[in-house]
Amino acid sequence: MKILLIFSGALGDFINFIPFIEHIKLNFKNPEITIITKSYFFPIIEKIDSKISKIDFEYTPIYKLYNHNPDFSRLEFLKNFDLIITFTGVKNEIFRKNLEKLNRNSHFIFPINKDEKISEALYLINSFPFKKKFFPKPNIPIKLKDRKFIAIHPGSGDKRKNVKIDFFYELSKELDYPVVLFGGENEVDLAEKFKIKICKNLNEVFEIFENTLFYIGNDSGISHLAGSCNIPGIVFFGPTNYKIWKPVGEKILVIRKNLNCSPCNLNCKKGYECLNFDLKKIKSLILNYLKNVFD
């Protein structure tokens, strides 16, 4: 059975999508899976299943499905699949109607409601009528080498979710372990001042994780990645719903202030006090964790 997955979400969404892929394998006999998504995610697909075919979202005419009366000539390949499952960033009826004209065996999954009380990974599984269900946590196998440093990712896809960079920088100097601060394109402007290693792709992030003893980060896709690689760590949550977005890795601890106004879903009117943490308390928590687990 030929199954096409069209995925246009963010990194954290894609990590939470991994158990969905496992459910496809469980429910369909010998499925031939193809994924159209961002090439940035390809290293993850390689690690979870190298047999999955990959197509770069940017080099397909999928965008035409969002137009009224599109030219379907370059989209005829969509007719070759027995089932198409899409995860789109927004609910778009034009996209849905156009895809169904090409392939009636299409299933649409839309983003989770921000007020839900279950994890996105479980929501995705429940969004498709699987006959057999279980809930494996996202798992990306990596080769752990010399776990010699603490890795801090001080950014995310939205600055409103971030603890102040100065906090992370001061914390990195307080810990009694070697520390690597790393980031991506969102941290380029901060790299020189705060000595942040900029990773150009996820393979470079995996290289860091292979030597990571402990991880520290915000509500971000990279934090989801750390959890799925089974790396112990802490993740700070403030204005966003941790019940939906917390990394589901067993070794990731969520740190939050539990204010009455949180989560506000990034509509803060109080200066994001929920992201103002005590440096000494966080340092003590991390060092005690490391002492109990690794000493």
pLDDT (tens digit, 9 = 90+) per residue, 258-293? 899 999 989 898 889 999 999 999 999 999 988 876
Domain 2-126 shares a fold with domain 149-294: yes
What 91-95 contacts at long range (C-beta under 8 Å, 24+ apart), as own/partner pairs, is 92/66, 94/65, 94/66, 94/67, 94/68, 95/65, 95/66
What's the pLDDT band for 230 if we cut at 50, 70, 90?
very high
- 59 or 45, greater pLDDT: 45
- Other residues' Cβ atoms within 10 Å of the Cβ of residue 280: 10
> Per-domain residue ranges for the chain?
2-126, 149-294
Give rounded-to-5 percent helix, strand, coil for the chain. Answer: 40, 20, 40
Q: How confident is the model at residue 135 (pLDDT cuts 50, 70, 90)?
A: confident
60 confidence band (pLDDT: 50, 70, 90): very high
What CATH superfamily classification does 2-126 receive? Glycogen Phosphorylase B; (3.40.50.2000)
- Fold assignment, 149-294: Rossmann fold (3.40.50)
* Percent of the chain residues past pLDDT 90, beyond the cut: 83
pLDDT at residue 89, as a whole number: 75
To the nearest whole number, what is the mean pLDDT of the chain? 94
Quote the CA–CA distance of 145 and 134 in Å, as a whole number. Answer: 31
pLDDT of residue 294: 62
Over 60: is that where the pLDDT of 140 sits? yes
pLDDT tens digits along 150-191: 999 999 999 999 999 999 999 999 998 999 999 999 999 999
Report CA dihedral (292, 221, 35, 248) to the nearest 10 degrees.
40
* SS3 track for 6-61: EECCCHHHHHHHHHHHHHHHHHCCCCEEEEEECHHHHHHHHHHCCCCEEEEHHHCH
CA distance 144 to 295: 18
For the record, the structure tokens of 25 come out as 């394998």
CA distances from residue 61 to 76, 99, 236 in whole angstroms, order as listed:
10, 12, 38
